[in-house]
A and B are shown apart, each in its own frame.
Chain A
Amino acid sequence: DTGVSQDPRHKITKRGQNVTFRCDPISEHNRLYWYRQTLGQGPEFLTYFQNEAQLEKSRLLSDRFSAERPKGSFSTLEIQRTEQGDSAMYLCASSLGDGTDTQYFGPGTRLTVL
């Protein structure tokens, strides 16, 4: 399977703990995106990488959130001192940066903060 992969698929944690999610994009895609989706809503943009450079961050991305893409391949999203409001599905997508720049999504990581 050469699609976008995410790990873990599910994460349950206690409030105050740190969590880290990983995303592996489609291999030739140079753009990588993180979105957050809460129940009953569409995904909301969090941040975006062009190769290893983080070019845009949403105001939703508080200082407890940090994302990296160190070698321009996989990316990690870390949430420090988790809060119950962080409970959501975290979706990763990648794109080629071509004419349509269609984003292809991974299966998501569902985070539950107790």
Chain B
Amino acid sequence: AQKITQTQPGMFVQEKEAVTLDCTYDTSDPSYGLFWYKQPSSGEMIFLIYQGSYDQQNATEGRYSLNFQKARKSANLVISASQLGDSAMYFCAMREGRAYILTGGGNKLTFGTGTQLKVEL
């Protein structure tokens, strides 16, 4: 089974509108972290936002927020007030286990296949 599923290969949004990018995950580990990264055409992966499995509040970072629904195993990224510069590939990723565990998967990230977002005027 896929550990991270992103079902939207491509999304379009008009400038200044909000957009939600979907991500569902699969793990049996009670401790995990969820990440969203942005990858422009230049190729660099840019960290956007983090949500820990024990966090009670949804994470927010500026125009980015994470809609974390633990029971449904979903971690959707919401971008408010879209800008042309938001056009990029967006990846959801998961780290299983606690970050201070040095082996056994407590550090590597598993990525989804990404969603290509295009912001239009």
Contact = CB atoms under 8 A, between A and B. Distances in A.
Taking residues whose C-beta sits less than 8 angstroms from the other chain, chain A's interface range is 20 to 34
Contacts of A111: none
B111 A42 contact: yes
B107 A31 contact: yes
Interface string A78-107: 000000000001010101011111111111
B50 to A, nearest CB: 5
Nearest to A9: B43
A103 B50 CA distance: 11
B70 interface: no
Contacts of A102: 35, 47, 50
Contacts of B42: 107
A94 to B, nearest CB: 11
B47 A104 contact: yes
A25 interface: no
Nearest to B93: A42
Contacts of A42: 4, 91, 93, 111-114
Given A41-B113, A45-B110, A56 B103 contact: yes
Interface in A24-44: 31, 33, 35, 40-44
Contact of B108 (A33, A89, A99, A105): A33
B99 A98 contact: yes
Contacts of A35: 109
29 contacts: A35-B109, A41-B113, A41-B114, A42-B4, A43-B91, A43-B109, A43-B111, A44-B111, A45-B108, A45-B109, A48-B107, A55-B102, A56-B103, A56-B105, A56-B107, A89-B43, A95-B107, A97-B99, A97-B100, A99-B52, A99-B99, A100-B52, A101-B100, A102-B50, A103-B109, A105-B44, A105-B45, A105-B47, A107-B42
In order of increasing CB-CB distance, the 3 nearest A-B pairs are A42-B111, A101-B99, A105-B45
